[in-house]
Amino acid sequence: MTDTVSETRSVIVERDFQHPPEKIWRALTQPHLIAEWLMKNDFQPVTDHRFTLRGDWGSVDCQVMEIEPNKTLSYSWAALGLESVVTWTLTPTPTGTHLRMEQAGFRTDQQQAYQGARYGWAKFFDNLEQVVARPD
């Protein structure tokens, strides 16, 4: 018998960018750039740093869990009863960077949050693409 409360799902978005990992990394870790594609924030790329993402609908309490420049960024994401982890993985490709984002920790009874995240992250990726497409 499985305990359905402990089973969780993830939202995964993957996209190829025609930019080097360093450029994508800046957009993922510099507060003024994060504000352009995601939300207002007080992020710092330092392990254990606690930060808040602020949107029109409310805020998200986060804490940096893992950081490996130009490769991996992971932080907790707590909002509206959802306790999850967002992990960004950057992989160099011959033409730029493969970016993978996984938000893990959606319980089966959090269908609305799960669907909202699927929709939201697709939009955030579109915004991110516009930010990194600009000349430096």
Domain boundaries, the chain: 9-133
- Token pair belonging to 6: 């402990």
pTM of the model: 0.93
Cα 20 from Cα 10, distance rounded (Å): 26
60: CB partners within 8 A, 6+ apart: 39, 52, 53, 54, 77, 78, 79
> Which pLDDT belongs to residue 136?
74
36 within 8 A of 113, measured Cβ to Cβ? no
46 within 8 A of 64, measured Cβ to Cβ? yes
Cα 64 from Cα 45, distance rounded (Å): 7
Residue with tokens 């089966």: 108
Q: Average pLDDT across each block of 10 residues of the chain; the chain has 136 residues. List them in order.
A: 67 97 98 97 97 93 98 96 96 98 96 94 97 90
Tell whether domain 9-133 is in CATH 3.40.50.10790: no
CA angle, 36 then 65 then 73, to 5°: 45
> Which pLDDT belongs to residue 110?
95
> Which pLDDT belongs to residue 135?
87
> Which pLDDT belongs to residue 1?
42
Query: Alpha helices, DSSP H only, in 8-110?
Result: 21-29, 31-37
